[in-house]
Structure 1
Amino acid sequence: MADRRAGTVVFDLDGTLADTSADLIAAANACFQARELGALLDPVADALIAFHGGRAMLRAGYARLPADRLLPPGAEDEDYPRLLDHYAGAIAVHTRLYPGTEAALERLAADGHILAVCTNKPAALAEVLLRELGIRDRFAAMIGADTLPVRKPDPRPYIAAVQDAGGEVTHSFLVGDTDTDRKTARAAGVRVALVAFGPEGAGLSRLSPEAMLDHYDDLPALAADWLGQSRRQ
Structure 2
Amino acid sequence: MRTVIFDLDGTLADTSGDLIAAANFCFRNMGFGDVLDVEYDAGIALRGGRRMLTEGLTRLGRFEEAMVDRYYPVLLEAYGEHIAEFTYFFPGALEAVEALRSAGYGVGICTNKPEALAEQLMQTLGARDLFGALVGADTLTVRKPDPEPLRETARRLGGDPDLTILIGDSDTDRNTARAAGVPSVLVTFGPSGDDMAALEPEALLDDYAALPMVVDALIGRNS
TM-score (norm 2): 0.96
For residue 25 of structure 1, what is the aligned residue in structure 2? Answer: 20
Residue of 141, 150, 156 corresponding to 1:164: 156
- Rounded to whole Å, the distance in 2 between the matches of 1:191 and 1:73 is 36
- Rounded to whole Å, the distance in 2 between the matches of 1:64 and 1:118 is 31
**Residue 115 of structure 1 contacts residue 165 of structure 1 at CA under 8 Å; is this kept in 2?**
yes
Letter matched to residue 37 of structure 1: F
For residue 51 of structure 1, what is the aligned residue in structure 2? Answer: 46
- Rounded to whole Å, the distance in 2 between the matches of 1:202 and 1:110 is 31
**Residue 111 of structure 1 contacts residue 229 of structure 1 at CA under 8 Å; is this kept in 2?**
no
- Rounded to whole Å, the distance in 2 between the matches of 1:183 and 1:71 is 28
* SS in structure 1 of the partner of residue 196 of structure 2: helix
* SS in structure 2 of the partner of residue 45 of structure 1: helix
Deviations 1:159-178 (A, max 9, x none): 10000110111211000000
For residue 210 of structure 2, what is the aligned residue in structure 1? Answer: 218
- Rounded to whole Å, the distance in 1 between the matches of 2:212 and 2:164 is 13
Q: Report deviation, 1:224.
A: 1.5
**Residue 152 of structure 2 contacts residue 161 of structure 2 at CA under 8 Å; is this kept in 1?**
no
For residue 191 of structure 1, what is the aligned residue in structure 2? Answer: 183
The change in CA–CA distance for 1:73 and 1:18 in structure 2 (over 3 A counts) is closer
* SS in structure 1 of the partner of residue 20 of structure 2: helix
For residue 170 of structure 2, what is the aligned residue in structure 1? Answer: 178
Percent identical across equivalent pairs?
50
Ranges in structure 1 where 5+ consecutive residues have no aligned partner: none
**Residue 181 of structure 1 contacts residue 192 of structure 1 at CA under 8 Å; is this kept in 2?**
yes
Matched, 1:97 2:101: no
Deviations 1:129-182 (A, max 9, x none): 111122111111110000001000000100100001101112110000000000
- Rounded to whole Å, the distance in 1 between the matches of 2:162 and 2:30 is 49
For residue 117 of structure 1, what is the aligned residue in structure 2? Answer: 109
**Residue 13 of structure 2 contacts residue 90 of structure 2 at CA under 8 Å; is this kept in 1?**
yes
- Rounded to whole Å, the distance in 2 between the matches of 1:127 and 1:12 is 13
Residue of 127, 133, 142 corresponding to 1:141: 133
For residue 8 of structure 1, what is the aligned residue in structure 2? Answer: 3
Give the number of equivalent residue pairs. Answer: 222
Matched, 1:61 2:69: no
Letter matched to residue 156 of structure 1: E
Q: Which runs of 4+ in 1 moved over 4 A?
A: 70-73
Q: Report deviation, 1:32.
A: 0.3
- Rounded to whole Å, the distance in 2 between the matches of 1:203 and 1:189 is 22
The change in CA–CA distance for 1:145 and 1:73 in structure 2 (over 3 A counts) is closer
- Rounded to whole Å, the distance in 1 between the matches of 2:77 and 2:142 is 22
Q: Report deviation, 1:229.
A: 4.5
What is the Cα-based RMSD across aligned positions, in Å?
Answer: 1.3
Deviations 1:29-61 (A, max 9, x none): 000001110100001100000111100000110
**Which of 1 and 2 has greater Rg?**
1
